[in-house]
Each structure stands twice: as C-alpha cells, then as structure tokens.
Amino acid sequence: MGNKDNFDSEILKDLMAQGYDGDELLNKFKEMRGKVRPAIQKLIDEADEITKSTKGIETEEVSKLFSEDD
C-alpha cells in the first residue's frame, strides 16, 4: 500500500467520523485530498530552508541545539 493510499484511508476515516456520507462525503474527500499534496510540499520546502540555513554550523553546535542539558 503506497503513501497515497494511506492518506486516502486516513482522510476517509476522519470524514466518516465527522459524519459525512454519500455525495457530501465524496465532495469533502476530493477537497481534503487536494490539500494534502500542497501541505506536504510546504513541509518539504520548510525543511529545505532549515537545511540551507544550518549549512556550515559545526557539528558540536548542532549537538548543543538538540541536547537535553540546559
């Protein structure tokens, strides 16, 4: 099962839990499905920007950012 199928299943489960059915379910599914790809692309773009902004930071500095010691 591909990621597309996983998203479709999750969208359908969520919409059915919200009480959608019939044509209303189909229309809402199409609407929500159309929002998934742009949302994922936005996350990818944000991750790319973070990666670009952290290039050149020494490994030790990065480790300090993610350490649990305060």
* Confidence (pLDDT) at 4: 63
Farthest-apart Cα atoms in the chain, separation: 56
User: What pLDDT is attached to residue 28?
Assistant: 97
CA–CA distance from 67 to each of 49, 60, 63, 70 (Å)?
Answer: 22, 10, 6, 8
Helix or strand holding residue 43 (H, E): helix 22-54
Predicted TM-score (pTM) of this structure: 0.57
| Residue range(s) defining the domain that contains residue 55 | 3-66
| Below-50 pLDDT ranges, the chain | 1
Total number of domains in the chain: 1
Q: Which amino acid is at 10?
A: E
